């Protein structure tokens, strides 16, 4: 005998980001065998029938569920880590996964302060007996290597001084590089890498604004080179970058690595600039981040994320 409302609740509990553990316990704990059978028959997204009409779990769904059950654990573990260890492990994991995850390396290298990045490099050395620079140079191939090694090696000036003439000059240098992009790849351009890996963030924000005002839209000009675009946005408009990562992670059809961005961003930015990220998220997507998480995530994972993003609201 089917329980329509509870079958729907069960299906929702197994879907999306995280698993609604409380609903599973409440419903499954009182289900009779016939009701469980009804759930299997009424959930073709989770169960498939073989030639003997035997309903069995879809193996792919079982793998996904393992990841969903782990999201809460992973969020707690990352939150309680020292930030330097956390960043070192994020970089190591990205190197293991390969090119599709290299954006995480850019994120760590470009959104942390000089001291935080130096700390992450020290933690990496302690944890893995290699330097970050060494492993990035070893694992990353092709045109991305030069950029990523330069970014993880950076130690930027963080004072308030910005020389307007130098910012204008750098904006013009970037504009010239874009004009010549058909002759030489932007990511291979030494001048582009010099500007992005050595200048202070305040300086680069001035470059970003000047370029957009006097040349073109730099984000549009970088559409053909996702890695450079990630670096520019992380350095110049980090709240915009993080908002886009969160939006992509909160889509129901997001792939596994994309979904991980939700945990990573919430945990690493909760005590940094989450209030600004929430404002930018609302500006870009017309919805509050809290509501989006409330509607998409589940169970203890959802509750933990909502707690973290509200930490600085009173300040």
Least confident of 2-6, 42-46, 201-205, 219-223: 2-6
Instruction: Name the residue with higher pLDDT: 315 or 203.
Output: 203
R_g of the chain computed on alpha carbons? 23
CATH architecture of 83-155: Orthogonal Bundle (1.10)
pLDDT given for residue 81 in this prediction = 96
DSSP for 12-48?
HHTSSBS--HHHHHHHHTT--HHHHHHHHHT-TTTEE
Total Cβ atoms within 10 A of residue 213: 9
pLDDT band at residue 1 using 50, 70 and 90 as cut-offs: very low
pLDDT given for residue 61 in this prediction = 84
Q: Is the pLDDT of residue 2 over 80?
A: no
Q: Is the pLDDT of residue 32 over 90?
A: no
DSSP strand E in 93-207: where? none
pLDDT given for residue 301 in this prediction = 93
SS3 state at 300: helix
219-222 — which CB contacts under 8 Å span 24+ positions?
221/178, 222/186
Q: Kindly state which CATH superfamily the domain 241-309 is placed in.
A: Annexin (1.10.220.10)
- Residue 311: both structure tokens together: 């930490």
Show me where the domains of the chain are located: 4-57, 83-155, 158-234, 241-309
Share of the chain above pLDDT 90, in %: 70
- Tens digit of pLDDT for each residue in 250-280? 998 899 899 999 999 999 999 999 999 999 9
- Tens digit of pLDDT for each residue in 197-211? 999 999 999 999 999
- Residue 36: both structure tokens together: 């469980």
Question: Do the domains spanning 83-155 and 158-234 agree at the CATH topology level?
Answer: yes
Fold of 158-234: Annexin V; domain 1 (1.10.220)
């Amino acid at each position: 005998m089917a329980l329509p409302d509870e079958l729907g609740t069960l299906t929702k509990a197994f879907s999306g980001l995280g698993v609604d553990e409380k609903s599973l316990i409440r419903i499954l704990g009182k289900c009779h065998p016939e009701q469980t059978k009804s759930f299997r028959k009424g959930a073709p997204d989770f169960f498939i029938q073989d030639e003997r009409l035997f309903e069995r779990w879809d193996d792919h769904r079982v793998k996904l569920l393992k990841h969903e059950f782990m999201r809460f654990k992973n969020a707690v573990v990352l939150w309680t880590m020292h930030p330097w260890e956390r960043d070192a492990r994020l970089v190591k994991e990205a190197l293991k996964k390969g090119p599709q995850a290299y954006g995480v390396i850019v994120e760590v290298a470009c959104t942390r302060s000089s001291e935080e990045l130096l700390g992450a490099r020290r933690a990496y050395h302690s944890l893995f007996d290699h330097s970050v620079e060494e492993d990035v140079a070893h694992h990353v191939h092709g045109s991305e290597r030069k950029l990523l090694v330069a970014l993880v090696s950076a130690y930027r000036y963080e004072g308030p001084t910005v020389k307007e003439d130098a910012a204008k000059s750098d904006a013009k240098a970037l504009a010239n590089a874009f004009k010549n992009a058909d002759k030489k790849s932007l990511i291979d351009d030494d001048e582009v890498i010099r500007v992005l890996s050595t200048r202070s963030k305040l300086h680069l924000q001035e470059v970003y604004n000047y370029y957009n005002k006097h040349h073109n839209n730099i984000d549009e000009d970088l559409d053909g080179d996702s890695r450079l675009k990630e670096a520019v946005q992380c350095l110049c408009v980090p709240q915009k970058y993080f908002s886009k990562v969160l939006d992509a992670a909160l889509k129901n059809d997001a792939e596994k690595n994309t979904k991980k961005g939700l945990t990573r961003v919430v945990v690493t930015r909760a005590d940094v600039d989450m209030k600004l990220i929430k404002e930018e998220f609302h500006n870009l997507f017309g919805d509050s981040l809290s509501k989006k998480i409330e509607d998409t995530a589940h169970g203890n994972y959802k509750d933990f994320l909502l707690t973290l993003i509200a930490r600085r609201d009173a300040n």
